[in-house]
Amino acid sequence: MEGFTPAKSLYLMSQCKHFVIANSTFSWWGAWLSEHKDKLIVRPEPWNNQQSILSDFLPPGWIGLPKHPILKSSAISKSLFSGG
């Protein structure tokens, strides 16, 4: 969110109802602070390759999205994201 302070960006994120977050503390806090009762949060799985600590900070209702092995191929990724 270009042009906003980090605090303003975090506040604006917290007003959202649904989230697709990265494995970053900034996106985690934005989702965590949302007060929507029926919010939907999709997060990376695994989270920073630290599966053993998931229960400490990832609520059970957050949906883990597994890494997709096909996107790890640089040839396929370049083709998908460069339009060629």
How far is the C-alpha of 1 from the C-alpha of 5, rounded, in Å? 9
1-9 long-range Cβ contacts below 8 angstroms, 24+ apart: none
Domain assignments of the chain as residue spans, ordered by start:
6-82
pLDDT one digit per residue (tens) for the chain, 84 residues: 678 999 999 999 999 999 999 988 999 999 999 999 999 999 988 877 665 566 678 888 999 888 766 655 555 555 555 655
